Structure 1
Amino acid sequence: MTAAPNEPVLLRRDEGRVAILTLNRPQAMNALSGELIDALQAEFDRLAKDREIRCVIIEAQGARAFSTGHDLREVASTRDYAFHHALLTRCSAMMISIKRLPQPVVAKVQAIATAAGCQLVAACDLAVASSDATFATSGINNGLFCGTPSVSVGRNVGSKRALDMLFTGQPIDAATALRDGLVSRVVPPAELDRETMAFAQHIAAQPPQQIAEGKAMFHKHMTMALDQAYAYATEFMAGAIQREDARSGIDAFVNKKPKPEWKGR
């Protein structure tokens, strides 16, 4: 499927409390051009202020690729260091924005995800992959070590598995990606749309303030030493218990009442 010449590189639709962002460069294997990076950043900036949306899905148009990473035609168009540095800086900021969003972000991976495309999957909080999907940090095959992808991929799968991918550029299948922690779930291709939406809707039905604050807490404590992480998580959870959603939810469980309606964050 080929996007029309004037069609946006990123599409958005909302289904209830779930926002779906669609990478829309199928003719270019959904490569992360500067335009697409900037479009993702702009959408994340909007979502950060959106109190109606409680979960985000990132998907891609076309059957061939989720994303093959940076647009190498764009990269090769100049030898200017400042241009390349600015492009990579914008991409890194966009990836970091995913972690800073209050909403959980789910990658829906239907096909290959390589280099910065694999980085995008790793940067998401969760990922549902088709059993046909494959993943690689393949820059080394083109003479370029995947430096920025190594940041998020390494934090997902650990140093030895990440360096195996980074040094060889060889792809891994969905089952291996699940085993190594790069994705959360693997489903048959025919069930990818339904399973991903059901997953996102289940998350969107949880208490939004607890989810938003819990996501921020989790990503922060993962950078801490064990004792510091426990102290931080203890303080967080003691405070969370005092919140109205926790009080009403615990009361419903203890006294066998119907599950309460969660209020917005």
Structure 2
Amino acid sequence: MSVVTYELKEHVALITLNRPEAMNTFNPDMYREFNAATARFRDDKDAWVAVIAAAGERAFSAGVDIKALDQFANESDLDAAKEVFDVELEGEYFCDKPIIAAIQGYCVGEGLSMALGCDLRICTENAQFLLPESKLGIPTINAAMHGARIMGVSNALELLLLGEARDAAWAYRTGLVNLVVAEDKLLETAMEWAQKIASLSPLANRITKEMAVLGQTRGFNENAAIGAAKRDQLMRSHDVQEGRRAFMEKRAAKFIGA
């Protein structure tokens, strides 16, 4: 049975962590299958938005499967372990397509780091957020950088340095999540957001995401020039013409991503 599933419907990819019996912790199989699923989404021209969800009620992901990591490290060298235990989505800029995390229950360590690599986060009222790496003597790298960008340095450091869990209300107040919903509305709401995004121009959304995310590290003038050049190229596309016609005809636009 796959520990990560992938479904594509109407331009929305649903990627589901599927180890509920282990609170969706990441073992080597989960890392491999998750990275394969996100790469599939990134490279599929028909996939415009992704929702990352998790099976079960207890956890979005409780982080790394420590037993699996320990066993792998004992059987392999440390460099090999580093390559296997790596989420590509957590990189600086995985792709320019919008990605939504639908979070329930425990969102811990690697699970939270992965969620911070997404663009939008929706959680349930019972969600708990924790980065316990310092308790294990391990520095937090990717989550520290993404967290500071998303939540501000002070809020991120509260989560990082204290190593204590924070609830959904705190997560919403600090900007860690965009929305808090009832448990039975989580996936429905995440899919509604994804479908709304997918109904708009995918080409425009991709450029917009790039400007918002990479604009944090590029200078304003450089970013504006890049954005203007991409916009000028986009003006010749089918979707821009369709959007203009639909506006004039007072109807919903039918974008094709070209």
| TM-score, normalised by the number of residues in structure 2 | 0.88
Aligned CA RMSD, in angstroms, stands at 2.2
TM superposition shift of 1:166: 1.2
The more displaced of 49-58 and 64-73 is 49-58
In the alignment, the residues of structure 2 paired with residue 185 and residue 136 of structure 1 have an alpha-carbon distance, to the nearest angstrom, of 18
The more displaced of 18-27 and 223-232 is 223-232
TM superposition shift of 1:131: 1.7
Match of 2:250 in 1: 257
The more displaced of 8-17 and 163-172 is 8-17
Name the CA shift for 1:252/1:205 in 2 (closer, same or farther; >3 Å): closer
TM superposition shift of 1:177: 1.5
Is contact 1:217-1:236 (8 Å) kept?
no
1:63 aligns with 2:57: yes
DSSP-derived class of the 1:261 partner: coil
The alignment of Structure 1 onto Structure 2 pairs a total of residues equal to: 255
TM superposition shift of 1:256: 5.0
Is contact 1:221-1:232 (8 Å) kept?
no
TM superposition shift of 1:9: 0.9
The more displaced of 76-85 and 128-137 is 76-85
TM superposition shift of 1:202: 0.7
DSSP-derived class of the 1:52 partner: coil
Name the CA shift for 1:230/1:212 in 2 (closer, same or farther; >3 Å): closer
Give % identity.
Answer: 26
The one-letter amino acid paired with 1:64 is R
Match of 1:4 in 2: none
1:153 aligns with 2:147: yes
The more displaced of 223-232 and 159-168 is 223-232
Match of 2:11 in 1: 17
In the alignment, the residues of structure 2 paired with residue 108 and residue 197 of structure 1 have an alpha-carbon distance, to the nearest angstrom, of 9
Q: Any stretches of 5+ residues in structure 1 without a counterpart?
A: 1-6
| TM-score, normalised by the number of residues in structure 1 | 0.86
1:101 aligns with 2:98: no
In the alignment, the residues of structure 1 paired with residue 163 and residue 183 of structure 2 have an alpha-carbon distance, to the nearest angstrom, of 25
1:198 aligns with 2:192: yes
In the alignment, the residues of structure 2 paired with residue 32 and residue 194 of structure 1 have an alpha-carbon distance, to the nearest angstrom, of 25
DSSP-derived class of the 2:252 partner: coil
Is contact 1:40-1:94 (8 Å) kept?
no
TM superposition shift of 1:133: 0.8
Name the CA shift for 1:184/1:241 in 2 (closer, same or farther; >3 Å): farther
TM superposition shift of 1:242: 4.3
In the alignment, the residues of structure 1 paired with residue 246 and residue 41 of structure 2 have an alpha-carbon distance, to the nearest angstrom, of 31
Name the CA shift for 1:195/1:248 in 2 (closer, same or farther; >3 Å): same
Is contact 2:128-2:167 (8 Å) kept?
yes
The one-letter amino acid paired with 1:86 is E
The more displaced of 10-19 and 23-32 is 10-19
Write the deviation string for residues 2-38 of structure 1: whole angstroms up to 9, x where unpaired: xxxxx21111223332221110111211111121111
Name the CA shift for 1:264/1:240 in 2 (closer, same or farther; >3 Å): closer
Match of 2:224 in 1: 230
Name the CA shift for 1:49/1:137 in 2 (closer, same or farther; >3 Å): same
Write the deviation string for residues 207-233 of structure 1: whole angstroms up to 9, x where unpaired: 122223332343222211233333333
DSSP-derived class of the 2:16 partner: strand
The one-letter amino acid paired with 1:109 is I
In the alignment, the residues of structure 2 paired with residue 260 and residue 27 of structure 1 have an alpha-carbon distance, to the nearest angstrom, of 43
Write the deviation string for residues 113-171 of structure 1: whole angstroms up to 9, x where unpaired: 11111011100111111121121111223333323332322222122221211111111
